[in-house]
Structure 1
Amino acid sequence: MTNITNEKKELDRLTTLADYDIDYSREFEDLDDLSKLAAHISGTPISLINLIGANTQWSISEFGMDQNQISRNDSICDYTIHEKDYLELSDLDKSEDFKDKPYVAGDPSLKYYFGVPLKTKDGISIGAVCVMDKKNHSFSPEKIEMLKIIAEEVMRRLEHRKLVKDLKEKLEEADDVSRKVSHDIRGPIGGIIGLSQIIKDNAEEQSISDIIELIEMIHKGGKSVLDLADEILSTHRELEKQSDYKRESLTLAILKEKLIDLYKPQAQLKDINFKVVVELEHKELLFPKNKILQIFGNMISNAIKFTERDGSVEIHLSFEQVTEAKAKLAFSVKDSGVGMTTEQIDLMMNHQAQSTPGTDNERGFGFGFQLSKHLITSMNGTLTIVSEIGKGSEINVKIPVKLYQLKD
């Protein structure tokens, strides 16, 4: 991992990456043509599209190399994100910085790397497109320019994903407003109809034909509005039935699978017993994904980082205060790691902690925890830590979430 001198800049970078709310357990088939094209243009057998998280390099598209993730400590793209245009490295096997990396010292014995940073419109680098080979290359300016164009196209597609997701959220908010409006008008309109009926009945008894005609018009108009409100509500209910499963949503059962897929490989590298436990009662409730994977993932990576080999990391997922429309998502991660003092916990909670190496000398700068705490606060959630030196730590997070649909 590169030395990070500007901590605020790195936290801003990670926050920007989190805004894309990327689910690293999903397939990114719409990017596969670009990774394949990068390899074809460069004449290399391997091409990757990587995003650099707080502790992990995530590969969201691969060509010629089956790799979903590696530690940020082992990432060359971590260096690329600090470059203005690109990073080119030859003879990796002779480099003091890279010769001991697993993909250089072992299979596939790489010697050459060329990477272009993935930059947002604001110039923030969140990852890189890279090509690699077992032999050195020398790219022409035309090839370099084409690789830059591919990197720009990757960002366009990621931006498109983000815009679509944001639009869906806004449409759902608008849908909620329309539902509330239709509910709100039912009461007063129903009252108008009831009142008009009473007036009509009284008027009929007194044979006031003109008043009856006027009140009948009020009655019909009010009834039409009430029918319209019913139509809006029934349409909303039909849309809910059709679209709940198509939304960007999770259940506790799905979340469990994703956490195992993403973080068990990291635990296995240290022979750590990794376990995810889900409360059975509410495991099928649907709730928005909304950065949940980013928050929990950073907490889990930190737990693995500070747990000794052959130790344990256990995750618990449940719901609290469940109502028809909302609940509190409860997450806890308990490890058998090195633990922390009260003073260290206070420093972490106040963003004053200094990074320390993991139990396998993993490097890090504490940004993952800072980012998670920032996101939890922005979502009106809570975070608490209980820890003891030599016995491990337990982090508890509670986040209010909207529920899409109750399941039996």
Structure 2
Amino acid sequence: MTIAPAHPQQDQRLAALYSYEILETEREREFDEIVQLAAAICDTSISVINFIDAERQWFKAETGLGVRETPLATSLCSHVILEDEFVEIHDTLLDPRMSDNPLCCGDPGLRFYAGALLKTADGLPLGTLCVLDYKPKDLTPLQRDTIRVLASQVMAQLDLRKTLRHAEMLRKEVDHRVKNSLQSLSSLVRLSARRAKAEETTEALATIGSRIDAVSMLHRELYRTDAGQIIELGRYVENLMLHFRQIAPNNVTLRCQVIETKVTSNEAVAVGTLINEFVANAYKHAFPDNRAGQIDVAVTRMADGRGICVNCRDDGVGLSEGADLSTGGLGMQIASVISAELNAVLDVKAESDGLDVTFEFESAISK
């Protein structure tokens, strides 16, 4: 029996084949439909998508054959991958490479073969899409073109899946590095805040920490949903509040009311930073001496149906008497800066029974 020699670039060819991670995968409708279509159009008993491994021929899809792999010694395609991109053999018993092959000279024997190579962009053959029959025959030009086109579609599927796997691997690596960087930065800011002597420096670092927390939460939301630069604001705010509930003092209750609405990632960071600033300040100043209290955060629609309204309210002790809201402390300055980022209308009400901050803006998505 004539056994095909190894491909001249066998090591590179096998490395390319393994990089697609296709071997030993389950049958899939996309590939099954391709071999069924090839067999129907070419009017053959068998069609397969096969890959030539080091010691075997493995079938990703087959119709009319009934097995998933065969030994390499009897593989017709192991000869074909040494040839041109398309091979048609009218009668295998007249081909010296296959005339003594048990698959061809048996009863019934495979007497007809036609296949197109499955090749990488570098020209390395991985296997073939082929059709076979138990009687000699010739394909029409349309049938040959069909096999070529379907083989190209198989490789397009494989290349797309490989690209997506690579992109997912890079995304996970980027996620890991960004997450570690944010955690390191957050730890550094908190450490610096503990060492700071001036109250204004401490407050500034605390605000930076809140901004980092908002970005970290946004990063987790982007990674979890794979939504690109568009964020579902309601879910994002709920996740922020879940984080704040975990660190809330025992005497403080948090409530959250949100709607589903989409914003840009930059807008989400701005909203998250303002909520972080409000809740963190309320924890620190609004409920002295373990006074029981409540913080409410709401995301609603403005009356025009287009704009977004974010309201943060606590029922704490409020601002000190005579506080100037026009200048305010650092927290109010941060709120003003964030409002400017969003081109938002900021409304602050400070009373003896708490602080109420509302800002309204129109997302760039809806403009």
Q: TM-score, normalised by structure 1?
A: 0.50
Contact 2:189 2:205 in 1 (8 A): no
Cα 1:20–1:237 change in 2 (3 A) is closer
Cα 1:238–1:118 change in 2 (3 A) is closer
Pairing 1:68-217 to 2, within 5 Å after superposition: 68-93=68-93, 97-106=97-106, 108-196=108-196, 198-200=197-199, 214-215=200-201, 217=203
Task: State the structure with bigger RCO (CA 8 A, min sep 6), 1 or 2.
Answer: 1
Cα 1:48–1:234 change in 2 (3 A) is closer
- What letter is aligned with 2:146? M
1:3 aligns with 2:2: no
Deviations 1:275-323 (A, max 9, x none): xxxxxxxxxxxxxxxxxxxxxxxxxxxxxxxxxxxxxxxxxxxxxxxxx
Deviations 1:310-347 (A, max 9, x none): xxxxxxxxxxxxxxxxxxxxxxxxxxxxxxxxxxxxxx
Paired with 1:157 and 1:108, the residues of 2 have a C-alpha distance of 34
Contiguous gaps of at least 5 residues in structure 1: 201-213, 240-408
Deviations 1:227-254 (A, max 9, x none): 3366368659978xxxxxxxxxxxxxxx
Aligned match of 1:218: 204
Instruction: Tell me how far 1:106 sits from its aligned partner.
Output: 4.3
Cα 1:178–1:89 change in 2 (3 A) is same
Aligned match of 2:213: 227
Paired with 1:149 and 1:75, the residues of 2 have a C-alpha distance of 23
Cα 1:234–1:170 change in 2 (3 A) is closer
Contact 1:20 1:162 in 2 (8 A): yes
Paired with 1:234 and 1:122, the residues of 2 have a C-alpha distance of 38
- What letter is aligned with 1:2? A
Aligned match of 1:61: 61
Contact 1:116 1:147 in 2 (8 A): yes
Instruction: Tell me how far 1:33 sits from its aligned partner.
Output: 1.4
Q: TM-score, normalised by structure 2?
A: 0.55
CA RMSD between the two structures? 2.7
What secondary structure sits across from 2:50 in the alignment?
strand
Aligned match of 1:256: none
- What letter is aligned with 1:112? F
Paired with 1:234 and 1:117, the residues of 2 have a C-alpha distance of 43
What secondary structure sits across from 1:163 in the alignment?
helix
Contact 1:189 1:226 in 2 (8 A): no
Contact 1:190 1:226 in 2 (8 A): no
Paired with 1:146 and 1:139, the residues of 2 have a C-alpha distance of 10
Contact 2:77 2:127 in 1 (8 A): yes
Contact 2:193 2:201 in 1 (8 A): no
Instruction: Tell me how far 1:154 sits from its aligned partner.
Output: 0.9
Cα 1:93–1:119 change in 2 (3 A) is same
- What letter is aligned with 1:46? I
Q: Alignment identity in percent?
A: 25
What secondary structure sits across from 2:184 in the alignment?
helix
Pairing 1:1-400 to 2, within 5 Å after superposition: 1-4=3-6, 6=8, 9-93=9-93, 97-106=97-106, 108-196=108-196, 198-200=197-199, 214-215=200-201, 217-228=203-214, 231=217
What secondary structure sits across from 2:208 in the alignment?
helix
Paired with 1:36 and 1:56, the residues of 2 have a C-alpha distance of 23
Cα 1:23–1:95 change in 2 (3 A) is closer
Return structure 1 stretches of 4+ with deviation > 6 angstroms. Answer: 236-239
